[in-house]
Structure 1
């Protein structure tokens, strides 16, 4: 049977277009990515979106669910801070979102996961908008390629953008905490169709927040601010004074802060100050007293080397007697580990 030339050419063009579109489908994980040790991928999935911030803040669903005043907002969102890892997995062709989500759910529950919020199917639509996934996707790196339609007469070979291609169809969300080493780690899993039913794939967006203290000591308090603090409060904490954990030797990056401390004392030649070391509540009281005293003495020694008379300085270790925040969190403990300058 002869096929008209025009028909044949059109068929070949469509076949070539579909082949090119199929070639766009990612075949490997995005460069620089890695599974989080807390939860493994569903077998055969590709990690095509990945982002990690060493210290950041993010908003996760709270226990009260959606706001009655605005259903596209969470009623009591959890503001989580710490190391934020974001992962977007593209499931194997033909595997349903339900199969993948149930496996994720079972693995988390078996590990001691404590759910705080969950939704399935239509109720997840409001949560989808509340999560503002496109904004989260901007913090991630993405593999090259696209999602390709593999079924539906009008959608075979069609292409859709890969970044945060999550819909509300077949959507399921689970959020809560998983205890690791005595610390509750925030985990959220969102699994749904990858863009739409025509891709015949599921996609999973996973967000994990590991609490940790924000890196401190990165800002030096200048002499003017130190003088104002001493005048207003009679004391000031110096975040720029740095020590390694459990050590009394000043780190080299403390030099700029020590210079500013010496400058304010030279500008006020009659002022005498206590240099007070503080710790968190980790370890024994005796050890903390010794550590805080040693650190205070190290600062005094550094200031005398900068021309400040020794009789104007007195070192004092307060261990964990005077916390400025709760020692129940790492962020609070970080605030409690400090050196203060106090007017005598």
Structure 2
């Protein structure tokens, strides 16, 4: 039986104990507890060289969950956990999505379990801080959610007062499994762009070092063109990514040329206005899988569409 796990949020003495449940296809990959520690709980995005935070002290538990499903959206994982925190009486004091958090700087400026236990897509992660109570009785929880094409990842950090009553052990629970997604369809692409603000263009792939698109039909590009036609004020950045073979500068150039090749196809074959498209290249700086094997490298050689805002 595949387990979803539950983290007690309200301790003995409360009228009703609440649990934070994860999908039934989640497994606990890391679980570290210390009786007394301090944690700088982020309260805002990276700014002026730092992350604003409030220090909480007490018994701290850090967990990493892996959700075995392909192409999960980060919001798909975060939203039910956020709802459960609110139901348990927690106040959401800070929530952010990728660049709103501060991107690369935020991810490396706060407490994060290192890979491969926790894998973070620097182009798609979400963070949330929540507290309950005040003063010495404050209880705090943070969630860091991201994904690779093969799985979703959830980091949970919980701090409770060191002198609180005995905290119950983690308890098994069964939530419906998170569903795997197939190739991006028109409705899925529109939902991803409207909700998460970006989507991997499935079927647009490259071999290592290659920047040329094949002549095969790529339905996802027609779906993107249809989305832009239905949303005539939206601007989109096409972002290329590479695996880690070769140097950084060369890979950034390659990834930008891949993005440019996709834009050329969208313009010449699908009728998209070039003025609404921009090309960008991340090289190997935002992997979604391990570069230590060919499957991971293939997943990293991808192109994404990112909504950058309305036409100004």
The answer, yes or no, to whether TM exceeds 0.5 is no
Report the structure, 1 or 2, having the larger helix content: 1
**What TM-score do the two structures reach when normalised by structure 2?**
0.39
**Bigger strand share:** 2
Largest Rg, 1 or 2: 1
